[in-house]
Structure 1
Amino acid sequence: MDWLFFTEVLVGGLLAGVMYSLVALGFVLIYKASGVFNFAQGAMVLFAALTFVSIQAMGVPFWLTFFITLVIMVALGLAIERVVLRPMVNQPPISLFMATIGLAFFLEGLAQMLWGADVHGLNLGFNDEPFDVGGVFISSFDVFAAAICAVLVGSLALFFNKTRLGRALRAVADDHQAAMSVGIPLKQIWAIVWGVAGFVALVCGLLWGSRLGVQFALTLVVLKALPVLILGGFTSVPGAIIGGLIIGAGEKLAEVYLGPILSGGIENWFPYVLALLFLLVRPEGLFGEKHIERV
């Protein structure tokens, strides 16, 4: 086996996995606070990326464009919480899930109505030139993107575990009624989480849009977070990190070493097969909480 080539593929997969972790984090934030699986997260990523490139095309400087788009995405998250989630409190989970599916189609249509449906390139001002580390060639953009994702994921992990607001959010995730009984403002916590989810969607949109172009396919990339969540657990920030690394490395290695044997395009379906096998062994994920029901 060519160990240098193996290492190159593995490192590339791990760096892509960090970006998957950031995508999965958007789902974890919402699910952890409200128990809602936000199917509209992919549409939020597309909306953020399309808004950014459209504003930047007007000649607005990069950082001002980023700030304007950030304000729009935070406002969008707050509006979703107020208009969609809050009126449906205490409804069955399937009703909330169906609401987010409808929201996804609405956001996709709204984004294309406002900014058009053309494919756009997105330049973050960073040249993707591979560099050599001991004979292993690594994409400089992948390192840059992984560093951004790692800082953001790490910051949010510290926020959840070390700050008062983060502990309040964890309390809300454990038991809504108990959290309210000790004075935790449930609606404010939900609003903050949806606002942060809007920010995460913006960062995801910029990084994945720069790699793939700003197009409808961005909504499909976000679905790659599903295997990550199954492996790591739907309520765990560390689980999103570990799950992303496993999926990122696994799909790249499978594509290179199993692709020629099985068929092309194994990278597209291998993560889902891996997640399906994992469900048979540990349905709650590596860091998920076991639910014991007594009858």
Structure 2
Amino acid sequence: MALLGLGANLGDRASAIAEAVRRIDELPETTVAVVSHLYESEPWGEPGQPPYANAVAAVATALRADQLLEECQRIESELGRVREGARFGPRTIDIDILLFDDEEWESPQLTIPHPRLREREFVVVPLLEVVPDVTLPDGSKLTRESATLGRITGVIGPVPGFERLTPPEPSRGEGVEFVAAEPAAIGEPGREPAESVPDAAGEWVAIETFQRVWTENPVEALLHKGLLEDAGIPVMFHPPRAPYLPLVETVRLLVPKEREADALRVLQEAKAAGRLLESLDDD
């Protein structure tokens, strides 16, 4: 899973970030799983800039980190990003790779984790909204307390067009525990038979289960739902209010009974291609 930071402080900020996320979702073997709210933040670096809009997107991809960087820079250029001038000056769009699984990169072109990740509130807060219990490659936890630059001044709202991938509440910095149950391996021996759900409308069966705490988003559940929808397979969560649950609760991913084999095939193929996320609590 890659965690991308997006920002803009020129022109229509929200539209620029939305278009960047849309183009990222169209990259080969890449799926945008969760997108944070848009936050407005104080500019820093060059003085006299307008305020920024910032967001973080969780992305599942089979691309290497350096390949993803090239694609993000191409998208920046297509959206009018000019790299000449002040390093921390105003910009139409900025896309940074913050984290990439548990990998560490150090080169003139790419450093992962992002070298200023911990100190920027406009990065830390939306990142914790998307993955509240994120662990850095060195095993340390990311917290809001270390972020003293780029203060957030307000919440703009969901990124336009990605409301269904946005958690219900913007992050306020609380330390909320994230629990992601490891679903049974798809198509492997020992997988329990699909469970019928009589209180769901029609003949639907559960093919996976997830668990989470409070109002944070189970990234795997949304990713798998998006993959099935892209394949034209109807899918829903049960209970209906899932995946946004008020307390610890199990949520089931349902598909029509007659599409069960197709759904399992789609997820198995995605897993083989490296598009499925590893469990976030698999330490």
- The alignment's TM-score, normalised by the length of structure 2, stands at 0.30
Q: Which has the higher helix share?
A: 1
